[in-house]
Amino acid sequence: MSATMEQGAARRLRLADLHKTYRSRGREPFAAVRGIDLDIEPGEMVALLGPSGCGKTTTLRMIAGLESVTSGSVRIGEREVGDLPPGKRDIGVGFESYALYPPLSVRENLAYGLRARRSMPDACIRERVEAVAERLEVTDLLDLRPAALSSGQKQRVALARALVRNPPVLLLDEPLSHLDAGQRQRVRRELKVLQREFGYTTIVVTHDQLEALSLADRMAVMDGGTIQQFGTPDEVFDRPANRFVADFVGEPAINLVPGEAADGAVDVAGAGRLPAAVSASGPVEVGLRPQDCRLAAEDTPGEGPAATVEVLEDLMEFGLATVALDGNGTRMVVQTEGGASWAAGDRCRVQAPAERVHVFAKDTGERLS
């Protein structure tokens, strides 16, 4: 395929203090995006993650030019594109709302953007369409009309349409959400390979953390129209910037329990101490990922809050134990080895290495450790 798909020159994408306030008659103005800064390297793939309504689609639509910018700047390469119409921005988009043309076949839908450019011979267009179709598993659909496609098929066609133009910047909003599990994995891999091969600077919105982890060089976690953290998946997972990010990223979810910090340790819910890299003292919130904790026998030397096992779920390769901490019975989930012999009623101690004990300010939720 390389012969027919020249490298799209990757561009840097920069958002600076980007805002969007929706104003509609008879309703209070609503600030959906509240000052976003993002600097994305040429050829980098960034996943945008966040709860429903946090402004992900609005952000992508402003970059694509499908939504006006209230204030702030969108730059592609050295060019400010905020005032350019969508067609002049050199951006490939895969949005659910960005429908395929119903009267055209899938093949014509894919070729449409290339034809409009008038710079490519028909034979090349045909070849490129077929090459991308093959990789996104839509070859069998090329002669159908959009109305005849299932939602998963439409989604793959929409993705193919975005990729076929080999755009320097690619924006994808939940591009794989309608695919079944197997296909999702295959198309995800193909998307990653194509992205690497051609170096599109890419933002992909996803609700699926595994998808974000497997696709993205860096991820931006959003809440309430702002970016809470922007970093590599490891950075975000290992050093969440605040309570929100800690809680949003990671499965099973992190345990957040009340604690008291003093002298490089935290007392966890009054049930026992854990070492922690924290210099503050006073009431805090302690974040412990199930994967980072272990259960030890109650009389094991060393620190760790004391607890009683309530349930053990055996998930073959590993188990998940729900324990109730001594004191007021705060519940925590701890990952155990597969085949572990813990049972309801067992007394235990929860242990975790200091660098895995996250400490957040009780009031602001900001990271303290």
Ligand X SMILES: Nc1ncnc2c1ncn2[C@@H]1O[C@H](COP(=O)(O)OP(=O)(O)OP(=O)(O)O)[C@@H](O)[C@H]1O
**Could you list the residues that contact ligand X (CB under 6 A)?**
22, 24, 30, 32, 50, 52-58
- Minimum distance between the CB of residue 105 and ligand X, rounded to whole angstroms? 30
Binding partner of 55, given ligand X, Mg ion, none, CB within 5-8 angstroms per partner class = ligand X
Binding to Mg ion by residue 58, rule CB under 5 A?
no
- Minimum distance between the CB of residue 312 and ligand X, rounded to whole angstroms? 34
Measured from the CB atom, is 33 or 194 closer to ligand X? 33
Measured from the CB atom, is 53 or 87 closer to ligand X? 53
Binding partner of 32, given Mg ion, ligand X, none, CB within 5-8 angstroms per partner class = ligand X
Measured from the CB atom, is 52 or 119 closer to Mg ion? 52
Binding to Mg ion by residue 57, rule CB under 5 A?
yes
Which stretch, 49-57, 129-137, 177-185, 288-296, contacts Mg ion (CB under 5 A)?
49-57
Which amino acid is present at 154?
K
Among 296, 318, 320, which Cα is nearest to 307's? 296
- Minimum distance between the CB of residue 85 and Mg ion, rounded to whole angstroms? 22
Measured from the CB atom, is 68 or 328 closer to ligand X? 68
Tell me which long-range contacts 361-365 makes (C-beta under 8 A, separation of at least 24).
Answer: 361/280, 361/284, 361/285, 362/258, 362/282, 362/283, 362/284, 362/285, 364/242, 365/242, 365/243, 365/244, 365/285
Measured from the CB atom, is 69 or 333 closer to Mg ion? 69
- Minimum distance between the CB of residue 174 and Mg ion, rounded to whole angstroms? 7
Measured from the CB atom, is 53 or 353 closer to ligand X? 53
Binding partner of 204, given Mg ion, ligand X, none, CB within 5-8 angstroms per partner class = none
Binding to Mg ion by residue 206, rule CB under 5 A?
no
- Minimum distance between the CB of residue 128 and ligand X, rounded to whole angstroms? 31
Q: By CB under 5 A, name the binding residues for Mg ion.
A: 57
